[in-house]
Amino acid sequence: MRTTLDIEDTLLREAKRRAAEDGISLTRLLEDALRRRLAPPDRVGTGYRFRPLARGGRLLPGVDPADRDSLHERMEGRA
């Protein structure tokens, strides 16, 4: 489909230069850019599972690392 757009002169020059550099048409460059911009966002953080790493240490009796408050109390000498 043909359409008319108003594009800033410097942006259009840069797009033409980049298209020539990449060996593609200006139309192809603009279509690719629009597709990337309109694509759904990447799902950042999916599939990652945190695995704590401990070396050369051990937990003190009665310390539950999943209980932040009791851990802080123990570290501060309040428990």
The pTM assigned to this predicted structure is 0.52
Nearest partner of 32 among 11, 12, 15, judged by Cα: 15
- Contact predicate 29/18, CB 8 Å: yes
62 pLDDT exceeds 70?
yes
Q: Which two tokens stand for residue 72?
A: 């802080």
- The yes-or-no verdict on residue 4 having pLDDT over 80 is yes
pLDDT in tens, 25-48: 999 999 999 999 999 887 776 677
- Closest of 2, 38, 7, 36 to residue 16, by C-alpha: 7
pLDDT class for 71, splitting at 50, 70, 90?
A: confident
Length of the chain in terms of residues written: 79
Dist. CA 21–CA 15, nearest whole Å: 10
Q: Is the pLDDT of residue 9 over 70?
A: yes
